[in-house]
A and B are shown apart, each in its own frame.
Chain A
């Protein structure tokens, strides 16, 4: 039998080469060669998310995620998908978060020029017609209905953001935005948003797979070299938030949901700053998987909560203070207040009860294997490279991710728990079941008013 090392120390669990360069117009390019399969992942991280939206324009970043598929100077309306599919492209999509918008596709490596040409055409000449705006506003409204308004608990995420961040903070509203503000916007508003943010010097292009840096350099110069950088407005300064929330905050929502349920959130460290890796490990020790403390304590031992895959999760927001969030559903006959108290008790105990060697080992094994799974497909690997290039100015920082987790000690985890789990730093969003007769319908307008938000998570 040949040996395969599980030691990630040598290459940080990232075993491929990373090459980087920039064009004169400011476009940054990352190349990661991997000849395993005759395919290439192409990913564009635009440094624009809902955090860039000024008042009155909530939902713009996400609407652009849709508009970018509606054609450009040389690509007809809705042809973006069909042109890619004609050359065998797949895994085509885009997502918007508070922090960024990413566009991605995986193509047969022979079709890499076509994918780059399409990305360049829409970066340089998006078709911002009235027809496209009107049509995609309707698609977004259907998305909102399907993901927020027509599902139980569908609005928890946007409500949580309004509770966790003050009015006017870039993370106060989430990405689906306000349907009324989208409806009220003029075509010129969209044009100026596009010119500001869809500029080559505000993007990172990553190619992973069956291509080398020399080849990509030549193609990128050909397709993106003619695009000019465009100026952007300076973002308003955002004052750092205090370490803890000014809580505890407890919000009750009564809706026709099938079961009562809690969503919890705690203010946490920005992704990438010291302490954030320990908080991530803390979330795994307490809240992720079958061997997590919250599962064994609340589900198996005390039989207070229903089994779930996860009870605590780190959001990894990267530009301002982030959140840890969790959820729990009382079992039939259990007093919801008893469950919430037990949940906080387990969390707060971690401040005095550091993880055992076995608990740390479980968390490290999960994080290492998940990282290997994440990096396995070329598309997701490209996304991680683009993310590290945008956030840290260097895609190779991707090699730090796993070693940072592995270096977290039991004392780091304990200290993180002490920092995060104070009564003042907690938000409780409690769903209660509305009686059938008295239930008010959650309509789209009311939802948009209650919180302007979205969850591209």
Chain B
């Protein structure tokens, strides 16, 4: 629910109650005031008649017979409400009457003065109608005003919201927001800007740390690896059959560690956008090269590779990244394949699709691209391959998506080239 709708709802509820109350108060108040007025008029007439009678004037009947009634018989005195038929219209009309007693020429007389309430009722209706009409118009215009104001005043807020929504930490730039005149929004923008600055700074230091750590470990690793390899050549090693495999394991672990650091280094370099000029590459040629390179692995696992090249796209990419992209995709399809399975590569002008059969993988597909994400604990790979694929995709504005066809149990990774081919997105 929108904020405006929410406030309007409360507003309308309060106004409705107030409206009902005000109508009631107005109605009864006005009615009382009008009756009082009528009563006063009747009293005034009574005093006038009494004054006339006192100076000896005779009581004369008026043409308005129903408004002035003379009676020789006692009648209840005082003010009273009554309903009389209107002689002209023939309908029953409420009246107010005042009865008093006086002595005219020594004779006691009971005089009843009456006043029709039709006019006061009409007046009441008109006044109430006008008042309520004005109230309704007032309320509607306030609603409209609110709507217009919220559109105008909240524009700043929506601008901030849109900026936040499009904010990308990977661009390494803090948010730049305007300073609105309204204090609350200005404070919000300040807080958001401050937050983004801190985020960028933290991210920056983390990134630098990763890059430096990955780089600095390469030299000691190189020493370790070279010396271990030399150690393996020592003839004395042959005398102890258990020593060499231990060393070989150590060697393998060193290698894995350095590979891990290389992958992390690559990731941080992509994030830092440290890849220089792009070249126009024929992806089909890169694919052929990669398939050729991985052929022994395919052969050893008994995997068949099907290539469907509709159209060989020429993309502006860094050759190293194109190589890495294809390598990781193909290697992923080899690693997670079934024995004797197949890999299908579809290349067209729009996208590259690599599919391989395999059992369904639990978990959220979007998390497959996370770093150190492994599908099985047994594998010794660090689980950075798809993360690299996604980073390269993001770098060039390619959409990388994962799909699973339950029917054929086929995993598909799709890299849609989009409209890029113009180099890295900025």
Do A and B bind?
A: no
Query: Chain A interface (Cβ within 8 Å of chain B)?
Result: none
Query: Chain B interface (Cβ within 8 Å of chain A)?
Result: none
